Amino acid sequence: MQELSTLRTQVDEWDMLRQRVVDALDLLEMAAHDPDLITELDTEAAAIEQGFEEREWALALSGPYDAGAGIFSIHAGAGGTEAQDWAAMLLRMYLRWAERRGFKTHITDMTEGEEAGIKSVTVEVDGPYAYGYLRSERGTHRLVRLSPFDSANRRHTSFAKVEVLPALDEDIDIVIDPKDIEIEVYLSSGAGGQNVQKNQTAVRIRHLETGIIVTSQNERSQTQNREMALKVLRGRLYEIEQNKIDAEKAALKGQVVDANFGSQIRSYVLHPYQMVKDLRTDVETGNTQAVLDGDLDAFMQAWLKQNLSDD
């Protein structure tokens, strides 16, 4: 009933917009004989255009879990400290983006680098359409800069992979049979003081059929870490099923897609020039600092619109 109500609301909004277009066409005919109506017609045309853009965004964010929370993970690529520092820069970028939108963020698992940066991190983001926006970010991100870790101050290229999952609750139709998983508990290496050091609160879950391994160690108790790890596992199993559907659609369209989302999607160049360019949409900007401070909406919106037209 809730889904039906949502769909009826969407249809009603499109019907009202269509009626406004019909009324505006009538007003246009009247304006041909009464120039005083031109200003009113311009105002109505602008309102209709804005309404259409809002409805278009509603379509771009109309996936089954787009409206809910999302979980993203960042994994440093090959390159040691340089790549791990890049992963930390990406983490800061996404946390700043979430802060700009008033979203809540919670780091559920993180492995720090030996010298600097992070090897991997998993973050839950809670806010309206968090997953819908974040899913535009999955893929490999490339950084080109003068390395602060190179005594010769040479230019380095680093890579990090971003994974994005919906934060699925237990009532979502992704069933995990207890016989299909192995659960291991161990001492947490994260923050938490003496309680973490003395008790096995961290949880690692392995899904036997797919080989997927998820961990959670930043919660206060073993039970909380187990629930968080299962939430991440449900999200990854959902992504596998969604990738199969996307691959079938692409095959019908004759498209070639990378089902692993391992291809490079965006380049961040800090030297010898300043530019961030999305290789999927060709959206680019020379204000690299703004992007690294979380100004990502232009990239996200362009991908969502492109994805909508592809569908």
User: HEC string of 210-231?
Assistant: CCCEEEECCCCCHHHHHHHHHH
- In this structure, the answer to whether residues 147 and 293 fall within a common structural domain is yes
Q: For residue 301, how many other CB atoms are within 10 A of its CB?
A: 16
- Within a domain: 130: yes
- In this structure, the answer to whether residues 77 and 143 fall within a common structural domain is yes
pLDDT at residue 194, rounded to an integer: 45
Question: What CATH number corresponds to the domain at position 187?
Answer: 3.30.160.20
- In this structure, the answer to whether residues 150 and 203 fall within a common structural domain is no
- In this structure, the answer to whether residues 162 and 268 fall within a common structural domain is yes
pTM of the model: 0.73
- Within a domain: 256: no
- In this structure, the answer to whether residues 9 and 47 fall within a common structural domain is yes
pLDDT at residue 171, rounded to an integer: 53
pLDDT at residue 307, rounded to an integer: 84
- Within a domain: 20: yes
- In this structure, the answer to whether residues 154 and 278 fall within a common structural domain is yes
- Structure tokens belonging to residue 237: 């199993």
pLDDT at residue 73, rounded to an integer: 94
pLDDT at residue 251, rounded to an integer: 65
- In this structure, the answer to whether residues 103 and 236 fall within a common structural domain is no
pLDDT at residue 196, rounded to an integer: 44
pLDDT at residue 9, rounded to an integer: 81
Q: Which domain holds residue 291?
A: 70-172+262-310
pLDDT at residue 125, rounded to an integer: 96
- Within a domain: 140: yes
- Within a domain: 8: yes
Q: For residue 128, how many other CB atoms are within 10 A of its CB?
A: 14
Bridge partners, residue 184, by sequence: 204
pLDDT at residue 256, rounded to an integer: 44
- Within a domain: 198: yes
pLDDT averaged over 10-residue windows placed end to end, the chain, 311 residues: 75 92 91 87 91 81 87 90 95 97 95 92 93 93 91 88 84 78 84 53 92 90 91 88 73 46 81 95 97 96 82 54
Length of the chain: 311
Question: What CATH number corresponds to the domain at position 156?
Answer: 3.30.70.1660
The alpha carbon torsion through 180, 185, 189, 190 (nearest 10 deg) reads 70
User: Are 236 and 181 in contact, with CB atoms under 8 Å apart?
Assistant: no
